[in-house]
Amino acid sequence: AQSVTQLGSHVSVSEGALVLLRCNYSSSVPPYLFWYVQYPNQGLQLLLKYTSAATLVKGINGFEAEFKKSETSFHLTKPSAHMSDAAEYFCAAGNTAGFKTIFGAGTRLFVKA
């Protein structure tokens, strides 16, 4: 069965520091992978998605993620954190075997001034 694991329910970084949010997936078929962000009192919105066209995916707001099949990982990074990046981030996976999208439990990002 497909699953998504996000390591670390909370991550705290200083403004200007590197952001690294970890995501590992398991899938018996090639996956489609997504990162969504949820700001307080708002709906989830897509940051970026991987659909096999390129292993390094660039998204909005300076975020990017790299698909590493050998590590079954899709970690999210941003070189320099901004206060406005404070939010909850969800990694998600789908595949061609069905219609479900499986979400990880989420990582809350705190950005310190």
Partner 1 sequence: GAGVSQSPRYKVAKRGQDVALRCDPISGHVSLFWYQQALGQGPEFLTYFQNEAQLDKSGLPSDRFFAERPEGSVSTLKIQRTQQEDSAVYLCASSFPLAGGPYNEQFFGPGTRLTVL
The residue ranges that bind partner 1 (CB under 8 A) are: 4, 6, 9, 32, 34, 36, 41-46, 49, 51, 90, 92, 94, 96, 98-106
CB of 99 to partner 1, least distance (A): 4
Say if residues 26 and 50 touch (Cβ distance below 8 Å). Answer: no
CB of 110 to partner 1, least distance (A): 15
Q: Which is nearer to partner 1, 6 or 73 (CB)?
A: 6
CB of 34 to partner 1, least distance (A): 8
Report the distance separating Cα 75 and Cα 79, nearest Å: 13
Say if residues 8 and 96 touch (Cβ distance below 8 Å). Answer: no
Q: Could you tell me the two tokens for 55? A: 């292993």
Q: Which is nearer to partner 1, 14 or 45 (CB)?
A: 45
CB of 17 to partner 1, least distance (A): 25
